């Protein structure tokens, strides 16, 4: 079976590696164009491109997915199947090209958490379980017929970064099972059940304004938001008018001594912010203009206004 793989970040590399390790015939890789990054604005190659080049796989980097030259190149590989992991939304002319269609690996248990940021939103909402789903692409995003899924437990101290890695490996495993099932005819695509009694939860893209911490929420809500945005894009608050990104915290259920958003510190070992019903103790953070550091490192060098 001739497979074209489409993806961009590290999350997708695990699935591409799994395909090669399983002896699947990946005939080409499609990824995003090189982009300038960093202070020098040097062109940055995607994680998928770097991996593909290391393994001598042909790489396509279209600016526009409907461009005639890209479509012709795609067609020339005569793929039986396309696999998409963490890539752009595809036009029908692309996802409908191979005879077996296009499989997507999505980091949630569909139909829950459709959208661009399922990992973040699952933790922010305090979920105890997530997972991955393979499904066949169709016109509306994340709505195609389900092939397989795998559940993954979310621990109380899991951050978005930790869950990302769990789901990355689960996605790779599930993709291989899916392709084998399609080969031997053991998988029957199943329509997504949107009427199972559970309200649909969505996972839209996260913007900077979504990362502001509202200390008027409960300790549990603030704790979930911080770990759901860690390490990227990171929840933040203002301290003396400066942006303070918060990465790791402990929660403390105790009657706050002051108003939500105010903080307490001994200037040496702890810095904690009040919520409506407790405290959030900072463990690692980054003040505007400085590197990420532990709260002890921060307190040794910071002078409060």
> Known binding site: residues?
108-111
- Binding-site residues for (6S)-5,6,7,8-tetrahydrofolate sit at 108-111
Q: How far apart are CA 171 and CA 176, in angstroms?
A: 9
CA 71 from centre of chain: 28
């Amino acid at each position: 079976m001739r497979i074209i793989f489409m993806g961009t970040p590290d999350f997708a590399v695990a699935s591409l590696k799994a395909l090669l390790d399983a002896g699947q015939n990946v005939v080409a890789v499609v990824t995003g164009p090189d982009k300038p990054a960093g202070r020098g604005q040097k062109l940055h190659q995607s994680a998928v491109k770097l991996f593909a080049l290391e393994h001598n796989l042909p790489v396509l980097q279209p600016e526009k997915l409907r461009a005639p030259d890209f479509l012709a190149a795609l067609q020339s590989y005569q793929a039986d199947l396309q696999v998409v992991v963490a890539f752009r939304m595809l036009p029908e002319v692309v996802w409908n090209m191979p005879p077996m269609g296009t499989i997507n690996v999505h980091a949630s248990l569909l139909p829950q958490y459709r959208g661009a940021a399922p990992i973040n939103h699952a933790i922010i909402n305090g979920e105890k379980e997530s997972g991955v789903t393979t499904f066949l692409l169709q016109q509306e995003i994340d709505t195609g017929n389900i092939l397989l899924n795998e559940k993954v437990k979310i621990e109380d101290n899991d951050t978005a970064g930790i869950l990302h890695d769990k789901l990355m490996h689960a996605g790779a495993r599930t993709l291989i099972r899916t392709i084998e099932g399609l080969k031997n005819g053991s998988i029957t695509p199943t329509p997504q059940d949107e009427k199972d009694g559970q309200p649909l939860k969505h996972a839209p893209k996260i913007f900077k304004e979504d990362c502001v911490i509202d200390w008027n929420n409960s300790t549990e809500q603030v704790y979930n938001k911080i770990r759901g945005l860690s390490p990227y894009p990171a929840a933040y608050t203002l301290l003396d008018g400066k942006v303070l990104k918060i990465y790791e915290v402990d929660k403390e259920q105790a009657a706050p001594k002051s108003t939500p958003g105010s903080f307490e510190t001994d200037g040496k070992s702890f810095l904690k912010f009040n919520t409506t019903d407790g405290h959030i103790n900072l463990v690692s953070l980054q003040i505007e203009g400085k590197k990420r550091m532990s709260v002890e490192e921060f307190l040794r060098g910071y002078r409060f206004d």
